[in-house]
Structure 1
Amino acid sequence: MRALNAGFAWLSANYLGGIPIDRIATIAGVLFSYALAHAFRRIPATSASLRHAFSIVSTLFLFGAVQEQYIGLAHLLAGSLVIYGMMKTLKGSLMPKAVFLVAMLHMSFSQLRRQWGESGTVSFDYTGAQMVFVIKVTSLAYCVYDGTCDPKTLSTYQRKNAIVGVPSLLEFLGYVSFFPGFAVGPAFELATYRRMISFDNRQASRQVNARAYTTLLVGVFWVAIVVLYGDKYSFGFMATDEFGQWPFVSKAVFMGVAGLVTRGAYYAAWKMSEGACMLAGLGFDGYCEDGSIAWLDIANVRVFDVESSSSLKSMIDAWNIGTNTWLRHHVYMRLNQGSGSSSHATLLTFLVSAWWHGFYPGYYLTFFIASLASNAARVLRKNLRPLMVSKEDDMEKRRPPAKLAYDAVGWVISKFTLDFAVIPFMLLNIAPSIKAWKNFYFAVPVGIVAVELSFKVLGAGRLLKPYAKDQKVANKTT
């Protein structure tokens, strides 16, 4: 709708601080999905086909008419039909592997096309939706394959989500095009979708509404943060000579705020989409013994954990949870089962994650430095934590003063490392990324090298071992 997007342009110029129109269109699409979710809930749970069809038509409206992503719709529809045909015709372990390869190659084509040039009224970038699509179809392919396997050979997660037989084309299209999460996620398994379709969520309307609209308010809060501070705190400024003249502490504070504001854009999109999915009933996981409703955690991000954790691993685990779940259960575990080598599986999973994100060189620089930083953080935790807390403290959840100081310092270092690592991810190219890192005196790479030399070459862990509060813990960690 050109008139609608002209309105988005006017809002952006006059009230929203110049936010790109495609982002405003995405937010508008998510907000429209709240109204559609209420209509979806009024369709009887016994009319599964009607619910599938409603989801498909809603996505055509939101992604097509509102966001003007007609090219993207054509690509995703063609990809859906090809992959469905592969699921119906290919047999055995070849099927999920072939689906995985075709889906990833198709997405790579779209990502390269976006990288080399844009076209279209709003934006050529439909790759965000295609990334969610890839997670769904590859997960489904493996779940269908799991349905043909001996349950004893499957993990608990695989048994719960295994699918017996390929779903109908209507159900398949309803699943991959589920309208509240089509553009930005969250991704989820077909088993989760089926439980939602069978759930008469009108009986829990108050509970569902409260959860959904509370989540929406969280998303709106982060929209306001981005609108107010997005222009003032940008990663691009960190690659300038002017920024390089600032004192180190001022630069670190600026980077911390810029990181928070940048993450706020993701928080806004994910939380608003998550609320709409809740409103439609996604996350229904059956009934408890007392008759109450059990809900799955469908969050794609745990904001509090990302912003407050004192370890880099905890921050990363709480971010982009749907992708992390996919990589763990449908990439790492499959590779580990096949090769029997966890180190090879870890490396290949890292490469798949990088491939899934795209081909901007900054992405790979971010993943490279983040993997090294994560390894260094594990070394520090193994050797320093026993100095601050004993096993007894852990069991009783006590936090002695030394542990409080340890957590505070850990939070500062982890947050600085996270923001430093994502600079290339935001700047996309190598040259400005290295310039920004230079303005921080390459603090994180220097720290990584210092940790490696101290603990793996000079043996600092052995020197610290006698000071551990719990010698059994110390013996295990050195």
Structure 2
Amino acid sequence: MDDRVIQNGILFSIAQAIGAPEQALRLLVSILLGYPIALFNCFYLRHKSAIVQHLFFTITGISIGFFNFGWDIGHSFGCVLVQYLLIKILSGTRICVALSFTFHMTYLLLGYYQTGTDTYDIKWSMPHCVLTLRLIGLCLDYYDGRKKPDQLNAHQKKMALVEAPSLLEMCGHVYFPGGFLVGPQFSMKRYLDFTNNVYEKESGDIMQCIKPGLIRAGLGFFYLALYQVASNFISDAVITSETFYEHTFIIRVVLVGLWAKISLYKYISCWLLTEGVCTMSGLTYNGKDDKGRHLWNGCANVKLRVFENATRFGHLIQSFNLNTNAWVAEYIYKRLRFLGNRSLSQAIALFFLAAWHGLHMGYYVCFFMELIVMLFEKDMEVLAAKNPAIHKVFNNPTLAPVRWVIGKLYVFCFMGYCLAPFTFFSDYWSIYGSLYYMGFVVFLGWRFIAPFLLPRLIPRSPRSAPPSEEKAPEELDQLKKKQ
């Protein structure tokens, strides 16, 4: 019998025993394989030449990809080869950037069209979305490297590539086992500094990375266990069952809120586990803090304290999928500055994020919700700053616990509403109906009344007096004498 068939049988049996899909278990096993790979590199290869490390990461990464997707791994290698040829032929020009962006996004969307179903599937197109951002970012970094330093912002100066990377360097960057499947995103500059032992010299001893890597791994297992246990009580099936619609409105809101929180733990656990691999390899070195302690958070993808204590959706965005959000901010949003409109740039960036996730309309609804929620919170911040009565309430220290409770309830009640389209590609309208479309009523409704209500709630600043009237009488007398 074929070894792969036996392997599939073993994985299938384990998946059945723990109540998880076989594809998800295969993905988890692949992420965990990154730990012995990282340790082997840390103990035996870190002082070897960069070429040896590139080969090691390429071979191990492709092997993990083949373990998950078989010969479909060829899609990623083909795109790496195309990107290499584009850079070689067109160098770091605008047309190279335009062709790179167009090719990779088109290929990704065609991949979604070919592999997409009515459920979230773990197929070759899943890691391909990570690869797409990595290759587009690489091209833009090389484009920046050919500009004058005074034309670049701080981030671009840090990530710019003066020389075109080799095909082997590109493969090592793309197939690095700690970031190939589900991220995190990291630049070619970071990868090259890592393989050229820059971080070894800066940290003094790269082996310091093992302890923080184990801590992130431990947190990853904790959230994975939390998700596995909690999802037995509130799963996707509970939210889409007939029984769900028989509950009262308040109970439905609570159930959707709990479901959303539990669902996000699934993503958090994966990101923490992959971050642990990157950290344990030494890739995440990030200089020193203000106390002189070495930091290993260069690829951190989630801020747990901010996430768990979120009292507004802005906190969730600041703490969740950090590297992808940072990538979109630097390579899409900030490069749309020429439009001269922040709201338009934000809308385009969120549309890009939706398309990058897939073709299902639910993604676009989800990121549309993010847009109108963030605009709502921005208006609330303006009110809290400029309306005297509201400002007084928000800055009253005795009301801080009340504000915290209200903020937690606000996030809890609406988080599930915003997340439902992201998960339920065809059933989210039924869920929306069961919640009486409360998210649209509050956030979209606010957009219609804000132009009329905000000017009434924000007092006009008094006109400044003419310069002569603002001066003290003594100064006026002196001026008259001089005249």
TM-score of the alignment, normalized to the shorter chain, above 0.5: yes
Corresponding residue of 1:219: 220
Q: Structure 1 CA distance, aligned partners of 2:343 and 2:457?
A: 29
Residue identity in the other structure for 1:443: M
Look up the match of 2:260.
Answer: 259
TM-score normalized by the length of structure 1: 0.87
Distance 1:309 1:406 in 2: 12
Residue 297 of structure 1: aligned partner: 298
Q: Report if aligned partners of 2:302, 2:321 keep a CA contact under 8 Å in 1.
A: yes
Q: Partners in 2 of 1:364 and 1:257 — Cα distance?
A: 23
Question: Which residue of the partner structure matches residue 414 of structure 2?
Answer: 417
Determine which of 49, 52, 56 is the counterpart of 1:50. Answer: 52
| Counterpart code for 2:298 | D
1:347-379 CA distance string (max 9 Å, x none): 322221111111011111212222122212222
Gapped regions of structure 2 (runs ≥ 5): 463-483
Find the aligned partners of 1:287 and 1:268 in 2 and give their Cα distance.
Answer: 26
Instruction: Summarize deviations over 1:170-189 as a string: whole Å, max 9, x none.
Output: 11111111111110110111
Pairing 1:208-357 to 2, within 5 Å after superposition: 208-285=209-286, 293-337=294-338, 339-357=339-357
Equivalent-residue separation in structure 1 for 2:380 and 2:445 (angstroms): 11
Conservation of the 8 A alpha-carbon contact between 2:224 and 2:265? yes
Query: What CA deviation, in whole Å up to 9, does each residue of 1:254-282 have, x standing for no partner?
Result: 11221121111101111000000101111
1:462 aligns with 2:469: no
Distance 2:414 2:118 in 1: 32
1:13 aligns with 2:16: yes
- Distance of 1:341 and 1:376 partners within structure 2: 17
Shift of 1:85: 0.4
Letter in 1 for 2:366: T
Question: What's the offset of the Cα at 1:30?
Answer: 1.2
CA–CA separation in structure 2 for the residues paired with 1:285 and 1:146: 22
Q: Is residue 373–residue 417 contact of structure 1 (8 Å, CA) maintained in 2?
A: no
Partner of 1:136: 134
Deviation of residue 428 (structure 1)?
A: 1.0
**Which residue pairs with 1:444 in the alignment?**
439
- Report the CA distance between 1:250 and its aligned residue: 1.8
> Which residue pairs with 2:27 in the alignment?
26
| TM-score after normalising by structure 2 | 0.86
Q: Distance in 1 between matches of 2:10 and 2:66?
A: 17
Residues 389 and 124 from structure 1, CA distance in 2 versus in 1: closer, same or farther, beyond 3 angstroms?
closer
Select between 379-388 and 296-305 the one with higher mean Cα deviation: 379-388
Give 1:63's match in structure 2, choosing from 51, 62, 65. Answer: 65
Q: How big is the shift at 1:23?
A: 1.0
Which letter maps to 2:451? K
Tell me if structure 2 keeps the 8 A contact 1:5–1:25.
no
Q: Which residue in the other structure is 1:476 paired with? A: none
Deviations 1:319-353 (A, max 9, x none): 1111111111111122224x444344233222211
Residue aligned with 2:47, SS: coil
SS in 1 for 2:116: helix
Quickly say closer, same or farther: Cα 1:59–1:254, change in 2 above 3 A.
same
1:208 deviates by 1.1
Q: Note closer, same or farther for the CA distance 1:104–1:19 as it changes in structure 2 (3 Å cut).
A: same
Partner of 1:183: 181
Counterpart amino acid of residue 110 in structure 1: G
Superposed displacement of residue 410, structure 1: 2.0
- Please tell me whether the aligned partners of residues 313 and 411 of structure 2 are also in contact (alpha carbons under 8 angstroms): yes
1:371 matched to 2:371? The reply is yes
- Residue-by-residue CA offset, 1:118-160 (whole Å, 9 max, x unaligned): 9xxxx76122211110111111100000010011011100001
Larger Rg: 2
**CA contact 1:284–1:295 (8 Å) conserved in 2:** yes
- CA change 1:258–1:111 in 2 (3 A) is same
Alpha-carbon distance in structure 1 between the residues aligned to 2:212 and 2:391: 37
Q: Is the 8 A contact 2:54 2:168 kept in 1?
A: yes
Q: Tell me how many residue pairs correspond in the alignment.
A: 451
Indicate the residue corresponding to 1:396 in structure 2. Answer: none
User: Deviation of residue 117 (structure 1)?
Assistant: 9.0
The verdict on how the C-alpha distance between 1:151 and 1:226 changes in structure 2, with shifts beyond 3 A counting, is same
User: Given that residues 380 and 451 in structure 1 are in contact (C-alpha distance below 8 angstroms), is that contact kept between their aligned partners in structure 2?
Assistant: no
Aligned residue number for residue 433 of structure 1: 428
Structure 2 CA distance for aligned equivalents of residues 238 and 286 of structure 1: 45
State the partner residue of 1:72. Answer: 72
Identity of aligned residues (%): 21
Q: Following the alignment from structure 1 to structure 2, what is the Cα–Cα distance between the partners of residues 288 and 253?
A: 41
Distance 1:392 1:437 in 2: 31
- Determine the structure 2 residue equivalent to 1:475: none
2:474 corresponds to which residue? none
- Alpha-carbon spacing, 1:287–1:218, altered in 2? closer, same or farther (3 Å): closer
Seen in structure 2, the aligned counterparts of structure 1 residues 288 and 300 have a Cα distance that, compared at 3 Å, is: closer
**Residue type matched to 2:383 in 1?**
N
- Matched with 2:39 is 38
Contact 1:100 1:138 in 2 (8 A): yes
In structure 2, give the amino acid aligned to 1:462: R
| Contiguous gaps of at least 5 residues in structure 1 | 394-398, 473-478
For residue 184 of structure 1, give the secondary structure of its aligned residue in structure 2.
coil
Alignment partners' CA distance in 2, 1:32 and 1:108: 29
Within 1, Cα distance between the matches of 2:351 and 2:229? 36
Tell me how far apart the structure 2 counterparts of residues 426 and 124 of structure 1 sit (CA, whole Å): 14
Farther-moved stretch of structure 1 (193-202 vs 432-441): 193-202
State the shift of 1:193 in Å.
0.8
2:383 aligned with 1:380: no
Partner SS for 2:446: helix
Equivalent residue for 2:166? 168
Kept after mapping to 2: 8 A contact 1:235/1:423: no
